[in-house]
A = this chain, B = another copy of it.
């Protein structure tokens, strides 16, 4: 297998993008990545697109061909492939692109992710997001996506003494990071009180424990590492990639406080990378709810099981902590346009490893990780990146 580098990144602002359509934002992010890589369109061999539910959000399927078409690539008839794994769609697309280059099948690949969520009502959006869960055993019985995470949160508090305040601290940290990111949906700092006084969604989770609905897109350009220096000064290599599945329904899991798919995807990625957790300076993890970040930093092996809340409270995951978690603001403040999220994580890590993350730059960052989750953990994708 060949070594693979990211040579271009691009994204849109995340948020309520009323002036742009799905195809608009998809193309904007893709073209920004292509421009950043300093390649021309004729050089692209294939496109992979991550998207969760354009069928329901904008009544359009066939998203791979759509994006290739409006990017002007239909002329060259290049293959365009959409992949879907709910919230992990973006990371899954990145993994397909990575494999296509690593295997020698393609040389230059553009991987994009996009979702346009704001064109439907809040109720419809909530229902669509619930289709990441088990429709017959969870959704139909009234279990919303937030309520499933509330079960996890309540049990984590009971089992490990995680406090309501520690959950809030995840949001406070991520909003602080988001305030330093001009592409973030929310760029205002908040404090514990704001979280604790916000309306209840599903006890114990409140509005500020939840990531927002968002429009947005993000993209990267990949090529063999051996060719990367032709295009950019600072290629970032993808040194590890792992994917794992679990039961769709939460109640079928061995333990709802451990995402086994995170553990296994991380194990595979670290093995391939030949690194350990201590070698990583920053990670973008899937904080669709505050409790999710706590589970993630535990299951990725950065902290012991049950100690994620305390670690957050103690500032160990802050920008200047032992490991900077969600420097972009995370799904919580950067926003969560579902299919784009996995790619936005990659864009942030590459930006950090290039050393151009501005006010939120992590000092001496050389290795970063992305962690992208579908549903309540039925699909998890982990990638590890290193400055080359």
Asked if B59 and A246 make an inter-chain contact with CB atoms under 8 angstroms apart, the answer reads: no
Given contacts A68-B245, A246-B65, contact A131 B59 (CB under 8 A): yes
Please state if A86 and B103 are interface contacts (CB–CB under 8 Å). no
B residues within 8 A CB of A55? 53, 55-56, 128, 131
State whether the Cβ of A84 lies closer than 8 Å to any Cβ in chain B.
yes
Q: Mark A299-315, 1 if CB is under 8 A from B, else 0.
A: 00000000000000000
Q: Is B83 a contact partner of A379 (Cβ separation < 8 A)?
A: no
1/0 contact string of A78-94 vs chain B (CB within 8 Å) = 11111111100000100
CB of A127 to closest CB in B, whole Å: 7
> Chain B contacts of A248 at CB under 8 A?
62, 65-66, 69, 74
Question: In the complex the two chains form, what is the Cα distance from A53 to B82 in whole Å?
Answer: 12
A135 sits at the interface (CB 8 A) = yes
Min CB distance A198 to B, Å, is 28
Are the CB atoms of B85 and A245 closer together than 8 Å?
no
CB closest residue in chain B, given A378: B65
Q: Assembly of this chain: how many copies?
A: 2
Beyond A74-B246, A74-B247, A100-B99, whether A378 also contacts B79 by CB under 8 A is: no
Whether A61 sits at the interface, judged by CB under 8 Å, is yes
Contact A132 B378 (CB under 8 A): no
Instruction: Tell me, yes or no, whether A229 is within 8 Å of chain B by CB.
Output: no
A335 at the interface (CB under 8 A from B): no
Contact B139 A245 (CB under 8 A): no
- A84 contact set on B, CB distance < 8 A: 61-64, 82-84
Flag if B104 contacts A1 (CB, 8 Å).
Answer: yes
- The distance in angstroms between the C-alpha atoms of A66 and B105, with both chains bound, is 29
Contact of A99 among B92, B105, B128, B244 (CB under 8 A): B105
Question: What residues of chain A have their CB less than 8 Å away from a CB belonging to chain B?
Answer: 1, 21, 23, 52-53, 55-56, 58-66, 68-69, 73-74, 77-86, 92, 96, 99-100, 102-105, 127-128, 131-136, 139, 243-249, 252, 260-261, 264, 374-375, 378-379
Q: What are 7 A-B contacts with C-beta separation under 8 Å?
A: A55-B128, A59-B127, A62-B86, A65-B246, A69-B378, A77-B244, A81-B85
